[in-house]
Amino acid sequence: MLCARLVIAFCAVCLTSLTALPASANCRIHRETGKCINVRPDQISRPDYAVGDIFPVYEHNMLLNIDRYGLKPVDGTWRYYRSGSDIYKVDALTFEVLEIIRNARLR
């Protein structure tokens, strides 16, 4: 009886490990160290705006000091705007979000 319980418990552990998400699913790479930081799914926040959304440029400040954030220089008809901890690359004519830079920090 004890042996059967151990086998059932062992099989339950095996099945749990097979159905669990891989460790890389919650891995976020630290920008400075390059190490993987595991983030629980309930701690991952969604950006305020998605790619393709119209960004409210008159409600946010355009970033002028992009070197402080380590961003690429502006070389087209787009600008950088900040909302919360995210930076958005926004088309200057249509105000459409082109790219999202998550959790941007000063460097």
What are the tens digits of pLDDT across the range 70-89? 888 999 899 999 988 889 99
Confidence band of 41 (pLDDT split at 50, 70, 90): low
Q: What is the pLDDT of residue 14?
A: 47
Bigger pLDDT: 90 or 45?
Answer: 90
Look at the block and give the residue holding tokens 């200057």. 92
Q: Is the pLDDT of residue 107 over 80?
A: no
What are the tens digits of pLDDT across the range 20-34? 555 556 677 777 788
**Could you give the CA distance from residue 10 to residue 98 in angstroms, rounded to a whole number?**
49
Region 15-21: mean pLDDT is 48
Instruction: Provide the whole-model pTM.
Output: 0.60
Please give the sequence-ordered ranges of beta strands (E in DSSP) within 11-77, or none if there are none: 27-29, 36-38
